[in-house]
Structure 1
């Protein structure tokens, strides 16, 4: 079922924003006097509940440091937290411009796996986010992709149907989860390929223009 709307739902990191700054994990590992490989494993293994809003930043970093058998003092936690946020702060200006340009022909929304404190920092630094039709951050909505609840949040928030969406993400598992929900999906590899996919999707679907 469709509500006869065109909604392009973007992932953030790896699509509109850059992946983590190279060397950031090494910098944090050095701060902890820990091998990069061990730090990286702890960083990612402890991440899912932080992304999904079930752990605070303090709880996340405490879990990481304890995994590494290190003291979780507040000063170290705050330094790591701020370094981490900064490492995920870069955007692709061409993709920002492209996403905003689509608002002439479609609704544009965002669904990102990002902790709540990272989301607050990103919103403060990137005012263009307020021009989108809806923004959903996993740490705020308490559900992270590929959990169906993350996609259901966007459907419900926009009062739309899954068939109204084209979901764009650089991870196949997330696109697969969106398709399982009834959305169209595209695995992002670059702006030009995406533009051709979006144009074709809009032509295939008989929908009214934006009002």
Structure 2
């Protein structure tokens, strides 16, 4: 292994909290399971950069049988960005530690443009990554094979020399199917031995 490729959400940044989810539901005016089914089922093209936030939220509205006007769409984009903006300081420090020790590190994240731009504006620790693969910029979202092959090419390394770290088993399996080593993230304590 000569490079570590990190997922963002659930590894370096926090998942949405119950309060975040409640704010999104309240902003949409559509609480409950139907909202989240539409939110996730329609998410991949948004994360992949095929559509912007306005188009995504109008698609969600259509699936829910409602309409979001321009002001509501802007509020939903802001609430969505805020919901994904809490980082794990311990993991961010660990990335800095790895990079400082000479380990090549990269980031592969399913992330829409509005959120990617927010991270670039607010998170200086992104500078530690020699490969920064935002799905909205590379045209591939995990677990699509192209997301991993893009990163391998960007590193200039064969897949077997890359350790991929993600909190979702399907994403890890997809990386392993292409030859990368995989680690299903649960904690920093369990990740450290995988780097030896």
Question: Do Structure 1 and Structure 2 share a fold, with TM-score over 0.5?
Answer: yes
SS of the aligned residue for 1:23 comes to helix
Question: Cα RMSD between the aligned structures?
Answer: 1.2
CA deviation after TM superposition for structure 1 residue 197, in Å: 1.2
Q: So what's the TM-score if we normalise by structure 2?
A: 0.95
Give yes or no for contact 2:42–2:60 (8 Å, CA) kept in 1.
yes
- Asked if 1:117 is matched to 2:114, the reply is yes
Instruction: Report matched runs for 1:5-154 at 5 Å.
Output: 6-103=2-99, 104-154=101-151
Offset of residue 45 of structure 1: 1.3
Q: Determine the C-alpha separation between the residues in 1 that align with 2:120 and 2:153.
A: 22
Instruction: Tell whether 2:182 aligns with 1:185.
Output: yes
How far is 1:131 from its partner?
A: 2.1
Paired residues in the alignment total 195
Contact 2:105 2:130 in 1 (8 A): yes
Distance 1:146 1:34 in 2: 29
SS for the counterpart of 2:165 is: strand
> Unpaired runs of 5+ in structure 2?
none
SS in structure 2 of the partner of residue 152 of structure 1 = helix
Which of structures 1 and 2 has the bigger CA Rg? 1
